[in-house]
Amino acid sequence: MNALVLLVLSAAAPEPVRVASKAFTESVIVGEITTGALERQGISARHLRDLGGTRVVWDALVRGQVDVYPEYTGTLSQEIFAGKVSPDALGPALAAKGLELGPSLGFEDGYALGMREEVAARLGIRRISDLRVHPELRLGFSNEFMDRADGWRALQKAYGLPQTKVRGLDHELAYRGLRSGALDVVDLYSTDPEIQAEQLRVLEDDRHHFPEYRAVLVLRADLEQRVPGSRAALETLRDRIDAPAMIAMNAQARLHHVPETTVAAEFLKTRLGDGGGAAAPVEAKQPGRAHRILTRLGEHLTLVGISLGLSLVVAVPLGVLAARRRRVGQAVLAVVGVVQTIPSLALLVLMIPLLGIGTRPAIAALFLYGLLPIVRNTHAGLVGIAPDLRESADALGLPPLFRLLRVELPLAAPSILAGVKTSAVIAVGTATLGALVGAGGFGQPILTGIRLADTGLLLEGALPSAALALGVEAAFDALERWVVPRGLRLRPEEPP
């Protein structure tokens, strides 16, 4: 809902600066800090947090739905420009897209290799090149690191590493393996708070193999023109977040479950000097739990309600068409069936180039998912009408529309309603993914809960969402008594 309002407002005159962040803790914290830095200069700003992955936020920026977000130079050159633009040439490459490389924030968050401090100390390993004389060490890398262009293969080549015991695994499991002693060396992100918490030694990249992942702000080139003073406000962040500060903030959020808004407000207050007043409005942004749940319920029901309504309006006629013309029918069923096989996350992200971020792509994706059950059940309900009833309708010579509305659709009503119910329950579940594209709803706390490993927050989204699914199901059962004609609900029994 908020995002929808935002999209509508974006056409109006005094718009706030739209700051975005990706769905991981560091990005959200920096997003909060950026928002706060703008507000301290009296510039109205909004934070669209947890917007999925790099692609989602990047596309939103290019399309002008977002004004600024924190990014890493390595990601820009390696991932976004696919290695075709060197880190030094990012400025012109961004300018060509109507964007601008903003201030560098003062820390790097690159790939690194880490070991348990005690093991590293015992073996005397300080630099990555020290690993060459320890071929017996067991290496565990995140799956992404195993595959990346600058990942394990390149690293092995650059340093001439002899290790053969190398396995790919989940990043979180890698930390666990390290803790249990099953692994000796893992890859890590240099600002991971676990480095401190688990007492890890980060090995020096003495041959400078890993590209630079310097944290920067990327913004739209026309921002200053639209919001005078915004560029200068962002500039106040230049080199103000050093690596220890970032690591400490990550630790606050990830290990001690302090909300990112609070972490950011604290940083703004203590590190960014005079602006004691800024902390207050930031703190005030934390509403009570009941209020949060109600707001998300509203967002969630908006997503489900609008998309289900659209599905119904489109799917029932498609189902009728499919039942009337067998050829067309098979094609229609095949197409909506294929749509259903697209993973929901992929479908959501596919919608972004067409519809931007926020409520609209989520509604569009949910609408497409809602089609199949309704089309299929409408088709099945109509095709399944008993032959003698079909013949009766033919023989009576009912006008076609009257026949459809007064005979065929009522007879198919139980099946159609079952399809709508299936769509609704699917929509309630799938809508939780909408948070990844900024659509809000119960997915928001789930997303944040997963990211922070905060079970309480996760349940704050998951439980109401599950309850809503059950509620929707019950509501449809009640609706059935009202929609399905009584004559169809009688149990057929042979009279004596």
Least distance to another protein, CB of residue 403, Å: 8
Given the complex with another protein, which of 208 and 481 has the nearer CB atom?
A: 481
| Cross-strand pairs, 187 | 113
Instruction: Answer yes or no whether residue 479 interacts with another protein by CB under 8 A.
Output: no
Least distance to another protein, CB of residue 9, Å: 48
Given the complex with another protein, which of 377 and 465 has the nearer CB atom?
A: 377
Per the CB < 8 A criterion, the answer to whether 21 and 57 are in contact is yes
Kindly write out the interface string for residues 390-429 of this chain, putting x where it contacts another protein by CB under 8 A and - elsewhere.
Answer: -xxxxxxxxxx-xx--xx--xx-x----------------
Distance from chain centroid for Cα 7: 18
Kindly write out the interface string for residues 111-150 of this chain, putting x where it contacts another protein by CB under 8 A and - elsewhere.
Answer: ----------------------------------------
Instruction: Answer yes or no whether residue 491 interacts with another protein by CB under 8 A.
Output: yes
Least distance to another protein, CB of residue 10, Å: 49
Number of amino acids touching another protein (CB under 8 A): 28
Torsion sign (Cα): 471, 472, 474, 479: positive
Strand positions, DSSP E, 17-129: 17-20, 45-48, 68-72, 99-108, 111-116
Instruction: Answer yes or no whether residue 388 interacts with another protein by CB under 8 A.
Output: yes
**Per the structure block, which two tokens stand in for 445?**
């706390």
Given the complex with another protein, which of 347 and 418 has the nearer CB atom?
A: 418
Least distance to another protein, CB of residue 476, Å: 19
Given the complex with another protein, which of 42 and 400 has the nearer CB atom?
A: 400
According to DSSP, the β-strands at 200-202 and 111-116 are: antiparallel
Q: How far apart are CA 400 and CA 387, in angstroms?
A: 17
Q: How far apart are CA 110 and CA 188, in angstroms?
A: 8
Q: What is the longest distance spanned by two Cα atoms in the chain?
A: 94
Given the complex with another protein, which of 264 and 411 has the nearer CB atom?
A: 411
Instruction: Answer yes or no whether residue 384 interacts with another protein by CB under 8 A.
Output: no
Q: How far apart are CA 183 and CA 57, in angstroms?
A: 35
Least distance to another protein, CB of residue 484, Å: 8
Residues with Cβ within 8 Å of 109's Cβ and at least 6 positions away in sequence, in order, are 26, 72, 189, 190, 191, 213, 215, 246
Least distance to another protein, CB of residue 413, Å: 8
Given the complex with another protein, which of 305 and 485 has the nearer CB atom?
A: 485
Sheet of strand 45-48: strand arrangement: 45-48, 17-20, 68-72, 214-220, 99-108
Least distance to another protein, CB of residue 170, Å: 55
| Cross-strand pairs, 218 | 69, 101
With the CA atoms of 15, 20, 25 and 30 taken in that order, what torsion angle do they form, in degrees rounded to the nearest 10?
A: -70
Question: Which string of b and e fits 216-245 if b means at least 16 CB within 10 Å?
Answer: bbbbbeebbeebeebbebbeebeebbeeeb
Given the complex with another protein, which of 14 and 397 has the nearer CB atom?
A: 397
Instruction: Answer yes or no whether residue 481 interacts with another protein by CB under 8 A.
Output: no
Given the complex with another protein, which of 288 and 487 has the nearer CB atom?
A: 487
Least distance to another protein, CB of residue 354, Å: 41
Q: How far apart are CA 139 and CA 121, in angstroms?
A: 17
- Out of 5, 389, 453, 474, name the contact with another protein by CB under 8 A: 389
Least distance to another protein, CB of residue 376, Å: 21
Least distance to another protein, CB of residue 262, Å: 60
- Out of 42, 124, 288, 495, name the contact with another protein by CB under 8 A: 495
Given the complex with another protein, which of 343 and 387 has the nearer CB atom?
A: 387
Strand positions, DSSP E, 56-178: 68-72, 99-108, 111-116, 139-142, 166-169
- Out of 181, 228, 277, 485, name the contact with another protein by CB under 8 A: 485
- Return residues touching another protein (CB under 8 A): 388-389, 391-400, 402-403, 406-407, 410-411, 413, 485-488, 490-493, 495
